[in-house]
């Protein structure tokens, strides 16, 4: 265990738990946080695969990770639809890199490319479906669950921080209890999904195509809500 691993583990656990159980209710507030975390992973990943350095083993990877993280956090805060598409893209990227970590642990750059390809595919799906309520709950619940379990695995020292590059889905592969971690994440995701679904029965959720930030005027927010209230969830 390292200080970096403990910090990353605590952040992943806290943000993952928030998304798992309150992803829909606090959706707009959590978007920039999600953008920061996965922007950091993507930036550090890019340095790792392009220059062959170990994940987060150099100052460059940390600096690039933070710069990309701040960029994606800002974009997620300023533009609602960018954040929505980014959630889909991160889900695809985590799934792609996770599957590659399982099938071909030494794939290297190929794993990065597969992750990017699935990220693009999931982003297109999110754009096409316009993020209905069911999809928002499912992706926040399960995405948060895998992130939370990744945080616990880091805190317990079951996996080193360098395995984060395999994504929250694939970082357990090298652990002897890999299937236990995956099963626990799936069960947590199911619990989070049903909790959010029951809690959201009295909460309206709409897609605001011209959303800018949480401080938008109440009049604009109300107008958008009236215009989207009857859309299918």
Report whether 70 contacts 39 (CB < 8 A): yes
pTM: 0.67
Summarize pLDDT for 8-60 with one digit per residue, the tens.
888 888 888 988 998 877 777 777 888 888 888 888 878 877 777 776 777 88
For the residues 127-147, what does the mean pLDDT come to?
A: 80
Which DSSP state fits 72? H
Per-residue pLDDT, averaged over 99-119, amounts to 80
Q: Is residue 231 part of a domain?
A: no
pLDDT in tens, 151-164: 888 888 887 777 77
In a domain, 109, yes or no: yes
Mean pLDDT over 99-122 rounds to: 81
The pLDDT-based confidence of 87 (bands split at 50, 70, 90) is: confident
**φ and ψ at residue 231, rounded to 5 degrees:** -70, 150
Cα-Cα-Cα-Cα dihedral of 65, 67, 68, 70, to 10°?
A: 120
CA dihedral sign of residues 164, 172, 152, 26: positive
In a domain, 77, yes or no: yes
Q: pLDDT tens for residues 164-212? A: 766 666 677 667 777 888 889 899 999 999 998 888 775 544 444 444 4
Mutual angle of helices 27-51 and 133-155, in 10-degree steps:
60
Q: What domain range is 111 assigned to?
A: 3-226
What's the number of domains the chain is made of? 1
- Measured from the Cβ of residue 68, the count of other Cβ atoms closer than 10 Å reads 22
Tell whether 233 is covered by a domain: no
- Phi and psi of 211, rounded to 5°? -65, 140
Is 232 within a domain?
no
């Amino acid at each position: 265990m390292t200080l970096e691993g403990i910090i990353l583990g605590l952040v992943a656990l806290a943000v993952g738990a928030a998304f798992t159980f309150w992803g829909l209710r606090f959706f707009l507030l959590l978007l920039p946080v999600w953008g920061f975390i996965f922007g950091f992973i993507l930036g550090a990943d890019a340095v790792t695969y392009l220059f062959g350095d170990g994940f987060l083993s150099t100052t460059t990877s940390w600096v690039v990770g933070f710069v990309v993280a701040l960029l994606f956090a800002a974009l997620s805060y300023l533009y609602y639809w960018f954040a929505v598409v980014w959630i889909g893209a991160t889900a695809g990227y985590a799934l792609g890199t996770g599957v590659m970590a399982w099938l071909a642990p030494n794939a290297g750059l190929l794993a990065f490319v597969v992750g990017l390809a699935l990220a693009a595919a999931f982003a297109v799906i999110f754009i096409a479906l316009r993020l209905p309520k069911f999809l928002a709950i499912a992706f926040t619940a399960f995405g948060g669950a895998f992130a939370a379990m990744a945080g616990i695995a880091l805190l317990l020292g079951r996996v080193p921080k360098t395995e984060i590059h395999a994504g929250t889905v694939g970082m357990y592969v090298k652990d002897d209890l890999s299937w236990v971690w995956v099963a626990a994440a799936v069960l947590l995701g199911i619990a989070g999904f049903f909790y959010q679904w029951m809690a959201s029965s009295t909460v309206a959720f709409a897609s605001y195509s011209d959303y800018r930030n949480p401080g938008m005027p109440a009049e604009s927010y109300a107008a958008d809500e009236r215009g989207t209230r009857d859309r299918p969830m």
